């Protein structure tokens, strides 16, 4: 018997994730604070409650998929005198947050759940809306082993790969470390292509060498920032995301917070965070993050 799920946050990711649970036979009750998101989910075949409290009343697992940590904390505790999820959920429920949030926030909300007598886990994802729709997300999970085992069947429905990374917050830690590498490596690959252009080295020639040499990485061989060498990369489609600059900037800001909180020296990670913050300020929030090559190219022409 699969656990019954209250699914809160029916946005770009949450909507299709909740539907995959329904298709697999899970009893799901959804809710979103935005009425349009509730309507769209209902039309797609999800049972939607009239309030967050109603959605969680008989849930075994309370799953949240929100834009940021502040929303998770407010939903758990309740705002403006409204009953929070922790007050409304039945005894024995597990709080499972799949949003990407600060590691310290993830540990704080898990602590709140524990203090209220519940089990809790963080399980951020990678794979984007495409992965959410196809049920092929990668889940990175931070929780006690028995909590991991309890929610694993649900994650395996929504995802293709599920990794238990350690205790509370370690799912977020894994996600943030990965995306810090991704941000830095995209900037590095883009810088190398711009230098190649200025040296007179063809994109394809550089790709043919580097993709089989020690500079090989996902930013080059899957999300190649110049059109041509990898026909499916967003560069071939006017940098339509893919993975939008706003989301990369968000994740690098989370990385910068983690660097501050742990006193970690990471000059490249911090610089990538600054470059992507500027990318967003320049109006590129909706551009694929590989579009940073255009900024770098233009800066070189000055």
Catalog residues that contact ligand NAD under the rule CB under 6 A: 8-14, 31-34, 37, 52, 65-67, 71, 75, 99-100, 125-126, 128-129, 247, 250
Q: 99, 7, 125: which is closest to 60 by C-alpha?
A: 7
Taking the complex as a whole, how short is the minimal distance between the CB of residue 277 and ligand NAD, in angstroms? 16
Taking the complex as a whole, how short is the minimal distance between the CB of residue 103 and ligand NAD, in angstroms? 13
DSSP character at residue 3: P
Q: Which is nearer to ligand NAD, 29 or 207 (CB)?
A: 29
Taking the complex as a whole, how short is the minimal distance between the CB of residue 99 and ligand NAD, in angstroms? 4
Q: Alpha-carbon distance 61 to 143, whole Å?
A: 14
Taking the complex as a whole, how short is the minimal distance between the CB of residue 268 and ligand NAD, in angstroms? 22
Q: 225, 169, 160, 231: which is closest to 197 by C-alpha?
A: 225
228-237 contacts: CB < 8 A, separation 24 or more? 228/203, 228/204, 229/203, 229/204, 233/290, 234/288, 234/290, 234/291, 235/288, 235/290, 235/291, 235/293
Q: Alpha-carbon distance 120 to 180, whole Å?
A: 26
Say if residues 123 and 139 touch (Cβ distance below 8 Å): yes
Strand partners, 244: 288
Say if residues 119 and 145 touch (Cβ distance below 8 Å): no
Say if residues 125 and 98 touch (Cβ distance below 8 Å): yes
Residue closest to ligand NAD (Cβ) = 11
Q: Which is nearer to ligand NAD, 34 or 205 (CB)?
A: 34
Taking the complex as a whole, how short is the minimal distance between the CB of residue 69 and ligand NAD, in angstroms? 9
Say if residues 41 and 48 touch (Cβ distance below 8 Å): yes
Q: Alpha-carbon distance 57 to 70, whole Å?
A: 23
Please return the burial class of 156, using the count of CB atoms within 10 Å of its CB with bins 0-12, 13-18 and 19+: middle
Taking the complex as a whole, how short is the minimal distance between the CB of residue 64 and ligand NAD, in angstroms? 7
Q: Which is nearer to ligand NAD, 118 or 243 (CB)?
A: 243
Q: Which is nearer to ligand NAD, 125 or 259 (CB)?
A: 125
| In the chain, alpha helices (H) | 14-23, 35-44, 52-56, 69-77, 85-88, 103-115, 128-134, 145-158, 170-199, 203-210, 218-221, 245-262, 267-279, 292-301
Q: Which is nearer to ligand NAD, 133 or 211 (CB)?
A: 133
Taking the complex as a whole, how short is the minimal distance between the CB of residue 184 and ligand NAD, in angstroms? 18
What is the set of active-site residues? 175
């Amino acid at each position: 018997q699969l656990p019954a799920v209250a699914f809160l946050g029916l946005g770009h990711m949450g909507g299709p994730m909740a539907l995959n649970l329904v298709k697999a036979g899970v009893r799901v009750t959804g809710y979103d604070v935005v009425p349009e998101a509730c309507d769209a989910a209902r039309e797609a075949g999800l049972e939607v409650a009239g309030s967050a409290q109603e959605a969680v009343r008989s849930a075994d697992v309370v799953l949240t998929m929100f834009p940021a940590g502040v929303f998770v904390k407010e939903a758990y505790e309740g705002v403006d005198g409204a009953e929070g999820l922790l007050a409304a959920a039945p005894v024995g429920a597990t709080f499972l947050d799949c949003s990407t949030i600060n590691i310290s926030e993830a540990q704080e909300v898990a602590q709140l759940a524990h203090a209220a007598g519940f089990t809790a886990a963080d399980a951020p994802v990678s794979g984007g809306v495409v992965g959410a729709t196809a049920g092929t997300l990668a889940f990175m999970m931070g929780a006690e082993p028995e909590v991991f085992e309890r929610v694993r069947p649900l994650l395996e429905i929504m995802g293709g790969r599920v990794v238990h990374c350690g205790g509370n917050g370690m799912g977020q830690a894994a996600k943030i470390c990965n995306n810090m590498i991704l941000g830095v490596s995209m900037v590095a690959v883009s810088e190398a292509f711009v230098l190649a252009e200025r040296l007179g080295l063809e994109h394809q020639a550089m790709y043919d060498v580097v993709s089989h040499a020690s500079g090989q990485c996902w930013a080059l061989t899957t999300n190649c920032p110049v059109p041509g060498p990898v026909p499916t990369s967003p560069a071939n489609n006017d940098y339509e995301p893919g993975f939008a600059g706003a989301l990369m900037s968000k994740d690098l800001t989370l990385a910068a917070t983690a660097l501050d909180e742990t006193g970690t020296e990471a000059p490249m990670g911090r610089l990538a965070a600054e470059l992507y913050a500027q990318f967003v300020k320049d109006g590129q929030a909706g551009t694929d993050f590989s579009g940073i090559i255009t900024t770098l190219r233009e800066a070189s022409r000055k």
